[in-house]
Amino acid sequence: MSEQHVVITLTEIGKDFPDPANPKGAPRPALHSISAGIRTGVITGLVGPDGAGKSTMIRLMAGLLKPTRGTVRTLGMDPIGEAEALRHRIGYMPQKFGLYEDLSVQENLNLYADLRGVLGEERRVSFARLLEFTALQRFTERRAGRLSGGMKQKLGLACALLGQPRVLLLDEPGVGVDPISRRELWKMVEDLARSGLAVLWSTAYLDEAELCDEVLLLNEGQLLFDGPPKSLTDKVKARCMHVFGIEGNRRQVLKRALDQDEVMDGVIQGRNVRILLRDSEKHPDLARLGAGPDAGIRNVAPHFEDGFIDILGGGPGGESVLAERLTQIPLDGAVVIEAQHLTKQFGDFTATDDVTFKVTRGEIFGLLGPNGAGKSTTFKMMCGLLTPTSGTAMVAGYDLKRSGSAARQQLGYMAQKFSLYSTLSVRQNLDFFSGVYGLYGAKQRAAVEEMTEVFNLAQFLDAAPDTLPLGYRQRLALACAIMHEPSILFLDEPTSGVDPVTRREFWTHINGIVEKGVTVMVTTHFMDEAEYCDRIGLVSAGELIATGTPDDLKEMVAGGTRDDPTMEDAFILLVQQHAEERARTAKAA
Amino acid sequence: MTTPEASQNEPRLPGTGGVRGFMRRLHALCWKETLQTVRDPSSVLIAFILPVVMIFIFGFAINLDSTRINIGLVLEDNGVEAQRFASSLEGSPYLNLKRGTRKEMERAMMDERVRGFVIVMQDFSKRLEHPGEVTAVQVVTDGTEPNIAVFVENYARGAWQSWLGQRSLARGEEMPPDIQMEARYWFNPAAESRNYIIPGSITIIMTVIGALFTSLVVAREWERGTMEALLATPVTRTELLLSKLLPYYVLGILSLLLCVAVSVFVLSVPYRGSIVMLVAVSSLFLLSALGVGLLLSTLLRNQFNAAQAALNAAFLPAMMLSGFIYEIASMPHFLQIVTYILPARYFVTSIQTLFQAGDILSLLWRDMLYLFLAGAFFIGLSFYHTKRRLDD
C-alpha cells in the first residue's frame, strides 16, 4: 500500500438548511459540528440511513455547498474560494450517476473530457484505459439510457475518473444496481484506492460498511462513529448471539427475548433469532424464551448493524400495540395469494416471465431482487394495478382479472418511501385512506381514532406528513394501509434506507400483524430485509429463479470455501447458476 | 502520513482557463445540447410541427373580415318600390337573402340560420307616394353578437343607399349633393385581415416556442441529476448559460423562417422586407423569449412547472396585450402602461412593418432597441440566478 495522506479535512463543520415546514423560521441543521479526515489509499465509507446528511457532507467536500459553520479543506484548498482549481482534481459522481441518457457512452465521455480539459494524447490513453477498466468497449455507441444499472454506474465512474483526479467522491453508487454489478464496482474502486486515490463511498446499506477500510457513520446529522468498521464490531463481538434450534414460532421467541432485560436488540434471521446482549456475561434464561427443548444459544460474528444499534442504545421492544387491536384471523392453512404462470410483456420486453408461487395464510413472503428485475411488475399484478399478459393472479380466492375490486377490498397496500399525500394533514390522510378503503360514518371515525391512539399521532394530527419524524411517518403510512383491517398486506420496499431502530419498530408491527393471521407480501432489493421473511422468491431478469426459506436458499450455495454465506452470496450464486443452466439448455436445443 | 500541503505540488493540468478552454467547454456543451434536442422527438414537435399547426389555425380560424352573411327579408308590401328595394338587397355581394314571414324569420334568427332580418312594412310603397311622410324600414339583429349585428346593419344601410340612388336616377331627379367616401387601404389594398393577422401570429408562435424550449432545458438537468455533475466540473456560469441559449436560438430562427415561408408560399401573405432585417429583428426578440423560459427554468428547477409557467407567462400576455388582436389604444390606461414592458408588443409592430411595408428603419429602430433591452434584462436576470453552487 502506498503512503497515506489526509487529503480532506473537516473541522467542526455544520450545515443548516431552511426548514421546509417553516421557511421563515429558524433553519434546520442537516449536519452538526463534524470533524473528520479522508485519506488516500483507502475506501472511506460514509454510512447512514436516508436523510442522515451523507449527500450534504459530500457536497461540502466538492464545493457544491458552503458550510454554515467550520472549515473544509479538500486537497489543501478551500472548496468554495478555490473552486476553479479544485474542480480539476476531484472526481464526483452524484446520485443517479450524472449521465446524459440521450447521449451514447462515447458522447458522454467526450463531453466530460472536454469539460475537464482532457485532450490530445492524454485523452486517447484515458479513454482506452477507462473503457477497458469498465468493460464498456463493446458499448461505446449505445445510449446511456439503454444501459443496465450496473453499466450506467461504471460509465458514471469512468466520467468521474477523467482527468486523473486525486479524490473520488461517490454518492450512493450502489443504489439501483444489482448485487453482482455492485461487487464488480467495489473491486474496481478498491483497485483505484490501492493505487493511491482517496475514495469516499456513501451508502445506506450497512453491510457495505463492513467492506470499507474506514467508516464515518452518520445519523441525523451527527457523526456516531469514525474509524475502521472492525473497531465498532469488536465492541459487540462477544454480545452477538443466535438462539438456534427453535421449535415452534420464531416470532414469539423474538417477542419474549426482547422482553428480557438482558437483551438490548433482536431480529429474526432465517430460522434463528439473533440477539444483542447488554452484557456478554449475562445470558437470558432460555426457558423463558419458550424456544423448545433443543434450543441453544451461541456466539456469532458481529455485524456493523449490531454496532450501530449498540451506539443508538438498543432496539425497540417486541410488543406491537397495533397487532393487539386486530381481530384474530384463524390460521386455516389456506392459500391466499397465488400466481400461476404470470407473465407481463411491455412491447417486446418481458418484465415478468412465467412466475408461479403460492403464499399461505399468516405467512411473510418476500420477492427479492435488484431494481429492474421485475419485482414491481409482479407485485403490481398481484394487487390488481396491472393486468397480466397471460397467467392468473389470485388474491383471497378472487381472480384479479375478474373481480379486482372485491379482491382489493381484502388487501392493504403500502407504497415505497411511505407515500402519503404531502398537501393533506395527518388527519386528512387518515380520513382519506379509510374512505377509499370503504370505511364511513361511525366506523370510520372509530378507526381513525384508534390509529391515532395506537400510534400516538394525536400531537401531529394537523401537521403535514413530511414534517413528521421518520418513525412517525412510517407509523402513519402503516396506519393508512391497515385501518380497514385487510387480511392481506402488500409492502413495497418498506424499510430501505431507514435507520435500524425505525426498521425494527416496523418489523415488530409486521410480526405482530402476521401473528394475528394477516398474510404479508413484501418486495425488497435489500438483502437484510429478506431475513425477516418466512419464504423468499428470488427474482432476476423477470424470472423467479428460486423459492424457499432464507436458510434454504443460503444452504443451496453453502459448501466449499463458503461455510456461512450471506443472503447476498446466495443471491449472486443462484443468479449465476441459473444463467449457466440457461446457457446449457440453449446449447442443447 | 504527511500534511495536506503535499498535494499542492502537482503538475498543472493542460487546457485550464483562457479563451481556448472557454471555447472548448462551450462547444462541448452546445454539442451535447444539440444531440439531446435532435434525439428528443418533443423538441422537433415544438420547433417544426407546432408553429405550422398554429399558423394554420391563426390563418384560417381568426378572420376579422365579414364574408357573406345570411340575412332575412320580410316583405309585407308588394308594391313596386318594395320589390325594387328587395332586389337591391338581393344584389348585394355580401348577403345571402332568405325570404319569409316575420314569424319564420324570428324563428330563423333564434336558430342562427339568419343573423338578422329586414322588414319592409305594409305601407312602404304607399308612404313613398306622399312626399313629406317618413318611410321606414326595420332592421332586426341579434344583439348578443354585436360584431355581426353591426355588419348586418351596415349592409342593410348600404343596400338602402344604393336603392335610393337608383330610384333618384330612374325618376330623373338630381341626386342631393352627397359626399362619397372612398377608402383606400394603404399597404394592404384589399384590407385582407389575414395579411395583418399572420405576421402578428408569428409573434405569438415565437413567444410560445422560445419560452417552451428553454423552460425545459435547465429544469431537465436538475431533475435528471446531471446539473450536479456539471457543477462539479470546471464549467463556468457564462458557459452554462450560453450553452442553453445558442442551440435554441438557432432552432428558434429555423422555426421562424419556416413560419415565414409557410405564410408567404402557402398562405400567400405578401412579405415586403428583407431576410436580413427579419433575422435581425427576430434575433433580438428571441433573446427575450428564450430569456423568459430560461429564467423560469432556472428558478423552478422542475420541467412541468416551468413549462406551465412559461406558457402562461409568455402566451397569455402576448395574445392579449401585444396589440396583435386587441388594439392597445382602446385598452384602459394602466393596461397600456403594462404593454410597454412586453417584448411581444414591439415584435408585433416590427414584424407587421416588415411584412406589410418593408425595411422601414425609421420605424424599426425604436422597436429593436426595446427588444434588445428586454432580452438583455431577462438574460441578465437568468445569469444572476444561475448558481455555481447548490445553496447560494
pLDDT tens digit string along A355-376? 999 999 999 999 998 777 888 8
What integer pLDDT is reported at residue A31 of this predicted model? 92
- Tell which wins on pLDDT, B196 or A533: A533
pLDDT in tens, B78-127: 888 888 888 888 877 777 888 888 888 888 888 888 888 888 888 888 87
Instruction: Show Cβ contacts of residue A200 under 8 Å, excluding neighbours closer than 6 positions.
Output: A8, A38, A44, A46, A58, A61, A167, A168, A169, A170
E strands in A383-428: 390-395, 398-399, 411-414
- Measured between beta carbons, the chain B residues lying within 8 angstroms of A94 are 225, 228-229, 232
Summary mean pLDDT of chain B: 82
End position of a domain, from candidates B139, B170, B201: B170
Whether B339 and B289 share a structural domain = yes
Positive/negative CA dihedral, A217, A223, A224, A227: positive
- Tell which wins on pLDDT, B297 or A168: A168
Positive/negative CA dihedral, B1, B3, B9, B11: positive
Instruction: Show Cβ contacts of residue A286 under 8 Å, excluding neighbours closer than 6 positions.
Output: A243, A295, A296, A297
Find out whether A58 and A169 touch, Cβ atoms under 8 Å.
Answer: yes
Tell how far CA A225 is from the center of its chain: 21
Count other C-beta atoms under 10 Å from residue A488's C-beta: 21
Banded pLDDT at B175 (limits 50, 70, 90): low
Nearest residue, CB atoms, B13 vs list A59, A63, A163: A163
A111 touches chain B (CB under 8 A): yes
Residue A297 has pLDDT above 70, yes or no: yes
pLDDT in tens, B214-233: 888 888 898 888 998 998 88
Nearest residue, CB atoms, A5 vs list B6, B15, B235: B6
Residue A570 has pLDDT above 60, yes or no: yes
- Percentage of chain B modeled with pLDDT above 90: 19
Residue B190 has pLDDT above 70, yes or no: no
CATH of the domain at B153: 3.40.1710.10
- Return d(Cα B348, Cα A518) in angstroms, integer: 69
Q: What is the mean pLDDT of residues A194-203?
A: 93
Distance from CA of A110 to the nearest CA of B (A): 8
Whether B144 and B265 share a structural domain = no
Find out whether A244 and A80 touch, Cβ atoms under 8 Å.
Answer: no
Q: Could you tell me if residue B332 is inside a domain?
A: yes
Q: Determine whether the interchain pair A84/B234 forms a contact, defined as Cβ–Cβ distance below 8 Å.
A: yes
- Measured between beta carbons, the chain B residues lying within 8 angstroms of A152 are none
Find out whether A571 and A538 touch, Cβ atoms under 8 Å.
Answer: yes
Query: What is the DSSP code string of A499-519?
Result: -HHHHHHHHHHHHHHHHTT-E
Nearest chain B alpha carbon to A143: B39
Q: Determine whether the interchain pair A117/B10 forms a contact, defined as Cβ–Cβ distance below 8 Å.
A: no
Exposed/middle/buried for residue A169 (C-beta within 10 Å: 0-12, 13-18, 19+): buried
Whether B267 and B351 share a structural domain = yes
Cell numbers given for A101:
441518457
DSSP class of B314: I
Nearest residue, CB atoms, A64 vs list B2, B8, B232: B232
Choose among B255, B339, B266: nearest CA to B290: B255
Q: Could you tell me if residue B16 is inside a domain?
A: no
- Tell which wins on pLDDT, A422 or B185: A422
Q: What's the pTM value of the predicted model, to 2 decimals?
A: 0.81
- Measured between beta carbons, the chain A residues lying within 8 angstroms of B2 are 3, 5
- Return d(Cα A546, Cα A537) in angstroms, integer: 6
Q: Could you tell me if residue B95 is inside a domain?
A: yes
End position of a domain, from candidates B137, B170, B203: B170
Whether B134 and B282 share a structural domain = no
Whether B334 and B202 share a structural domain = yes
What integer pLDDT is reported at residue B13 of this predicted model? 47
Question: Which one-letter amino acid corresponds to residue B114?
Answer: V
Helix (H) or strand (E) holding A344: strand A335-346
- Measured between beta carbons, the chain B residues lying within 8 angstroms of A76 are 4-5, 7-8
Distance from CA of B222 to the nearest CA of A (A): 10
pLDDT in tens, A42-99: 999 999 988 889 999 999 999 999 999 999 999 999 998 888 888 889 999 998 888 9
Q: Could you tell me if residue B21 is inside a domain?
A: no
End position of a domain, from candidates B135, B170, B205: B170
Nearest chain B alpha carbon to A3: B1
What integer pLDDT is reported at residue A14 of this predicted model? 93
Residue A477 has pLDDT above 50, yes or no: yes
Domains contained in chain B, number: 2
- Measured between beta carbons, the chain B residues lying within 8 angstroms of A141 are none
What ipTM, to 2 d.p.? 0.79
- Measured between beta carbons, the chain B residues lying within 8 angstroms of A66 are 389, 391-392
- Percentage of chain B modeled with pLDDT above 70: 89
B330 touches chain A (CB under 8 A): no
Exposed/middle/buried for residue A558 (C-beta within 10 Å: 0-12, 13-18, 19+): middle
In this predicted structure, which of A314-328, A429-443, A555-569 has the lowest mean pLDDT? Answer: A555-569
B5 touches chain A (CB under 8 A): yes
Q: Could you tell me if residue B38 is inside a domain?
A: yes
Q: Could you tell me if residue B255 is inside a domain?
A: yes
A119 touches chain B (CB under 8 A): yes
- Return d(Cα B392, Cα B388) in angstroms, integer: 8
What integer pLDDT is reported at residue B6 of this predicted model? 40
- Tell which wins on pLDDT, B188 or B146: B146
Helix (H) or strand (E) holding A311: helix A304-312
Nearest residue, CB atoms, A98 vs list B10, B15, B228: B228
Positive/negative CA dihedral, A206, A208, A213, A217: negative
Cell numbers given for A367:
420477492
Q: Determine whether the interchain pair A110/B28 forms a contact, defined as Cβ–Cβ distance below 8 Å.
A: yes
Whether B49 and B95 share a structural domain = no
Q: What is the mean pLDDT of residues B136-146?
A: 81
Banded pLDDT at B17 (limits 50, 70, 90): low
Q: Which of A69, A111, A214 to mutate to test the interface with B (most CBs of B within 10 A)?
A: A111
Whether B117 and B217 share a structural domain = no
What integer pLDDT is reported at residue A561 of this predicted model? 64
Residue A497 has pLDDT above 80, yes or no: no
What integer pLDDT is reported at residue B5 of this predicted model? 40
pLDDT in tens, B264-292: 998 888 898 899 999 999 999 999 899 98
Count other C-beta atoms under 10 Å from residue B57's C-beta: 11
- Percentage of chain A modeled with pLDDT above 70: 98
Q: What is the mean pLDDT of residues B235-264?
A: 92
Q: Which domain holds residue B82?
A: 69-170
B229 touches chain A (CB under 8 A): yes
Chain B contacts in chain A segment 46-65 (CB below 8 A): 59, 62-65
Cell numbers given for A219:
445519523
Q: What is the mean pLDDT of residues B247-258?
A: 93
Q: What is the mean pLDDT of residues A286-314?
A: 89
What integer pLDDT is reported at residue A328 of this predicted model? 85
Summary mean pLDDT of chain A: 88
Nearest residue, CB atoms, A75 vs list B7, B13, B391: B7
Banded pLDDT at A499 (limits 50, 70, 90): confident
Whether B35 and B162 share a structural domain = no
- Tell which wins on pLDDT, B180 or B127: B127
- Tell which wins on pLDDT, B167 or B54: B54
Find out whether A214 and A4 touch, Cβ atoms under 8 Å.
Answer: no
Nearest residue, CB atoms, B7 vs list A92, A115, A166: A166
Nearest chain B alpha carbon to A62: B232
Residue corresponding to grid cell 453491510: A207
B19 touches chain A (CB under 8 A): no
B27 touches chain A (CB under 8 A): yes
- Tell which wins on pLDDT, A196 or A20: A196
Whether B262 and B291 share a structural domain = yes
**A198-227: string of b/e by CB count within 10 Å (b at 16+)?**
bbbbbbbbbbbbbbbbbbbbbbbbbbbbbe
Chain B contacts in chain A segment 143-172 (CB below 8 A): 143, 159, 163, 166
Cell numbers given for B301:
428547477
- Return d(Cα B206, Cα A29) in angstroms, integer: 46
Distance from CA of B243 to the nearest CA of A (A): 13
Question: Which one-letter amino acid corresponds to residue A16?
Answer: D
Whether B238 and B137 share a structural domain = no
Whether B99 and B165 share a structural domain = yes
Residue B14 has pLDDT above 50, yes or no: no
Count other C-beta atoms under 10 Å from residue B24's C-beta: 18
- Tell which wins on pLDDT, A418 or A247: A247
Long-range contacts made by residues A328-331, C-beta under 8 angstroms, separation at least 24? A328/A516, A328/A517, A329/A361, A329/A362, A329/A487, A329/A516, A329/A517, A329/A518, A330/A517, A331/A361, A331/A362, A331/A517
- Tell which wins on pLDDT, A562 or B283: B283
Q: What is the mean pLDDT of residues A324-331?
A: 83
pLDDT in tens, A407-422: 888 888 888 766 788 8
Whether B234 and B340 share a structural domain = yes
Q: Could you tell me if residue B177 is inside a domain?
A: no
What integer pLDDT is reported at residue A231 of this predicted model? 94
Instruction: Show Cβ contacts of residue B101 under 8 Å, excluding neighbours closer than 6 positions.
Output: B74
What integer pLDDT is reported at residue B183 of this predicted model? 61
- Measured between beta carbons, the chain B residues lying within 8 angstroms of A163 are 13
Banded pLDDT at B2 (limits 50, 70, 90): very low
Distance from CA of A285 to the nearest CA of B (A): 50
CA distances from A421 to A18, A424, A425, A470 (A): 22, 5, 8, 15
- Return d(Cα A110, Cα A385) in angstroms, integer: 42
Cell numbers given for B153:
346593419
Q: Could you tell me if residue B182 is inside a domain?
A: no
Q: Determine whether the interchain pair B232/A65 forms a contact, defined as Cβ–Cβ distance below 8 Å.
A: no
